[in-house]
Amino acid sequence: MDDQEASINKIPRLLGHENFIKWKVLFKAAVNYNDPELWTSIREGQYVPSTTAGNNATIELKMKKRDNKALSMLKLGLSWEILTSVNHHKTTKEMYDAVIDMFEENTELRDIKKDRQKQQLDRFKFKEGERLKSVLQRFMTIVNEIRTTNLLISDFELNKKLLSSLSGEWYTCK
């Protein structure tokens, strides 16, 4: 997902496991930016008219439009492969929950992600000729992904890894 895809004017697209964490955060932000009530429709489900409140057609129409817009936004935010596997769900909440289950709720998958991120951290090292800003950006990308999976690595260990990854020429004073 590049910077253009992450803008608030464009719904981020879920392509697969590799961008799920970013998609989840950016999708919620895009929905809330467009209309905070849409997130309510996604998380709580469709509006169900109350039989005791009487027939307020205006409110019901507004809520139905909100639910339809939320469902459309979710569908637009999914790749074709993912959409076809969850499109049988009729409500936005059901579809969103199915996507979350597909990518997050599986403990085996979560453990695999943690292992992969730990390996990324272990393999992290300075690239010859790389500027410090680039090193820090790559390192922080890995750290941020690690923190979203609740992999417990102390700040001390992260600092130690970063410092041990730097080029030897940065340790000499001239």
Can you give the residue ranges of every domain in the chain? Answer: 17-105, 107-171
Query: Distance between terminal CA atoms of the chain?
Result: 41
pLDDT tens-place string over residues 36-72: 888 888 888 777 766 655 567 787 788 888 888 999 9
Q: What is the pTM of this model?
A: 0.58
pLDDT band at 7, cuts 50/70/90? low
The structure tokens listed for 55 are 């027939």
What Rg, from alpha-carbon coordinates, does the chain have? 21
Residue-level pLDDT at 6? 47
- The pLDDT, as a whole number, for residue 105 is 59
Is the distance from CB of 79 to CB of 54 less than 8 angstroms? Answer: no
**Plot region of 173 (φ>0 → left; ψ -120 to 50 → alpha; else → beta):** beta
Place of tokens 């909440």: 93
Question: Do residues 73 and 51 touch, judged by C-beta distance below 8 A?
Answer: no
